[in-house]
């Protein structure tokens, strides 16, 4: 069990490292960066499907659904890396920590379930934290808002995946979504180069250590981390896994601060004011309390059902 817990924390550490990799790949624009990430991840997942001898054929309608969710994944990653460029890694991850707030709003709408009052309360607490961060870091407000929007996209495709994963093997599901993300970016590129790029050209070339950072991003942070997290859920409860995943912003901010102390290139913005850290603590506290209250709510519901059966 200790080995499984350590492995799970290592996976979450890798996910917290993605914003830093985006910063290290800064010469490459976010659209081109996500194109390479999804293309390489698709190739890696195709190899994983072949190695595990899992079929890849799906009904056309189901395949279209997964490809569509992949387009949302691409939009999430592009805005995520853009936020890291517009602000700092710490501000980007603080905005991403609003994922639980977005989920509490979107899940009842998409899955047609009742709104939970404690989720609304935690969402309001997260908004207070965001207010403190935005007041403390006005110069990085644009990056913070883009990160919050990125968290909303992440919450949306996560809620949709909670239904789709009931019908499809996780590796096959992720393969189709990575292909959908790569295809959607490819279709977006003509518009992107004509209207959004000043020189009208794509910047897909690799420079220096880009091959290493892209390999880590696609291989370690996407293919390996996802496959391992699914495998660990065979032995660890979903509650334990989800509670640990909530630590992703914590790990990312700590790593960013370490790089600032080491004076790594591109990390000169990581020293923040006290208001930023207070707001981040409030957001992370609401994120970590959420699964505890969710578990308590489920236990109370089970006790109520058991009491009704006895009556």
| Cα–chain center distance at 195 | 28
Tell me the residue length of the chain.
311
Q: How far apart are CA 216 and CA 219, in angstroms?
A: 5
User: Closest Cα partner for 174 from 213, 240, 221, 211?
Assistant: 221
Long-range own/partner contacts, residues 257-262 (CB < 8 A, 24 or more apart) = 257/90, 259/20
* Cβ pair 66, 164 in contact under 8 A: yes
- Tokens 């991850």 locate to 93
* Arithmetic mean of pLDDT, 74-83: 93
* Arithmetic mean of pLDDT, 3-7: 83
Look up the pTM and report it: 0.81
The crossing angle, in degrees rounded to 10, of helices 117-136 and 274-310 is 180
Structure tokens at 66: 């997964």
| Inter-CA distances, 223 with 21, 127, 178, 273, Å | 16, 33, 10, 36
* Arithmetic mean of pLDDT, 103-119: 74
pLDDT category, 176, cuts 50, 70, 90?
very high
DSSP letter at 25? Answer: T
Our count of domains for the chain comes to 1
Q: How far apart are CA 151 and CA 143, in angstroms?
A: 12
- pLDDT exceeds 70 at position 302: yes
Domain that holds residue 92: 2-310
Structure tokens at 208: 């220096």
* Cβ pair 85, 141 in contact under 8 A: no
Q: How far apart are CA 253 and CA 209, in angstroms?
A: 23
Q: What is the pLDDT of residues 144-169, one digit of tens each?
A: 889 989 988 988 888 888 788 778 88
Q: Which range, 87-96, 186-195, 249-258, 299-308, has the best average confidence (pLDDT)?
A: 186-195
- pLDDT exceeds 90 at position 212: yes
Contacts of 289 (CB under 8 A, 6+ apart): 122
* Arithmetic mean of pLDDT, 14-29: 86
* Arithmetic mean of pLDDT, 89-113: 76
* Arithmetic mean of pLDDT, 34-40: 95
């Amino acid at each position: 069990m200790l080995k499984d817990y350590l492995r799970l924390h290592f996976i979450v550490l890798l996910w917290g490292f993605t914003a830093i990799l985006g910063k290290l790949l800064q010469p490459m624009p976010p659209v081109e960066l996500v194109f390479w990430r999804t293309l390489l991840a698709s190739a890696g997942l195709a190899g994983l499907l072949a190695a595990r001898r899992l079929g890849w054929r799906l009904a056309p309608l189901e395949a279209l659904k997964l490809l569509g969710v992949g387009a949302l994944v691409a939009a999430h990653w592009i805005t995520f890396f853009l936020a890291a460029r517009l602000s700092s890694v710490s501000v980007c991850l603080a905005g991403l920590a609003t994922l639980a707030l977005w989920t509490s709003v979107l899940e009842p709408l998409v899955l047609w379930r009742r709104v939970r009052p404690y989720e609304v309360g935690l969402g309001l607490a997260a908004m207070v934290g965001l207010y403190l961060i935005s007041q403390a870091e006005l110069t990085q407000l644009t990056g913070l808002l883009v990160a919050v929007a990125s968290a909303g996209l992440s919450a949306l495709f996560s809620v949709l995946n909670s239904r789709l994963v009931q019908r499809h093997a996780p590796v096959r599901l992720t393969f189709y979504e990575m292909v959908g993300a790569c295809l959607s970016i490819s279709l977006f590129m003509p518009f992107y180069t004509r209207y959004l790029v000043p020189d009208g050209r794509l910047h897909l070339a690799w420079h220096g250590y880009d091959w290493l950072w892209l390999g880590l991003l696609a291989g370690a942070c996407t293919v390996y981390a996802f496959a391992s997290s699914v495998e660990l859920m065979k032995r660890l409860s979903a509650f334990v896994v989800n509670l640990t995943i909530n630590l992703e912003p914590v790990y990312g901010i700590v790593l960013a601060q370490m790089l600032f102390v080491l004076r790594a290139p591109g990390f000169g913005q990581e020293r923040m004011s006290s208001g930023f850290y207070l707001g981040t603590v409030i957001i992370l506290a609401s994120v970590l309390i959420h699964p505890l209250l969710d578990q308590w709510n489920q236990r109370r519901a089970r006790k109520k059902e058991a009491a009704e059966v006895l009556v």
